[in-house]
Amino acid sequence: MAHIKPAEIERESMKIIEAELTVRGIALNPETAAVIKRVIHTTADFDYADNLRFTSRAVERGVEALRGGVIVTDTNMALAGVSRPALTRLSGTARCFMADPETAEQAKAAGTTRAAAAVLRAEAEAPNAVLAVGNAPTALLRIAERMEMGWRPALVIGAPVGFVNVVESKERILEVCTRLDVPAIVALGRKGGSNVAAAICNALLYTAAGLLDPSSRN
């Protein structure tokens, strides 16, 4: 067992996930299955089969946006979890403005959070990016605000975790994205995190790059 390759472990894990979904009576939509299974694989939490919400054609549009596109995350942890080989294959890039001194200065000057200031930088410097939020509900609220003022990011991934403003921020971003026809993938409720945001990004990247089979990533 000690010498099982990572690709074999992942493949076996996906088989277990599929079997348990069947036992639970859950039949995934083929369009969204890769994202849901990737998040369950990352968290071992089958609640994501129920609480992940997708706007119309969100996966299809997100996959297209990642071909040569940009991902902006709200944490360096999420950034670290995004697959670099898949990004490279797609000629894409990933960024996080959160820890930049410039972001801290802008937040202090505006009397707001760094997460909210980072959103403004994303709008200015990467307006067509896929936005992956796994930590800061204030980022989602600012994204929604800026979208209502005309911003149209390529995709919004809303998966912050916690208790304060988390549920409300997710419900708001889903409503705004649906109304303005901006693709969104949102983990409703309190659950989420940087690992979930990165997992959603990777499911889309692997789909776009033809890397869903783990053996193809060797």
Catalytic pick from 7, 13, 32, 41? Answer: 41
For residue 3, name the pLDDT band (cuts at 50, 70, 90): low
pLDDT tens-digit map of 120-156: 999 999 999 999 999 999 999 999 999 999 999 999 9
Contacts within 8 Å (CB) and 24+ apart, 122-128: 122/72, 122/95, 122/97, 122/153, 123/151, 123/153, 125/97, 126/70, 126/72, 126/95, 127/151, 127/152, 127/153, 128/65, 128/69, 128/70, 128/153, 128/154
Whole-structure pTM value: 0.96
CATH dotted code for 50-209: 3.40.50.10230
Is 3 annotated as catalytic? no
In the chain, domain spans:
50-209
Report the pLDDT value the prediction gives residue 113, as an integer from 0 to 100: 87
Distances (CA, A) of 178 to 49, 147, 152, 185, 191: 20, 11, 12, 11, 21
pLDDT tens-digit map of 16-44: 999 999 999 999 999 999 999 999 999 99
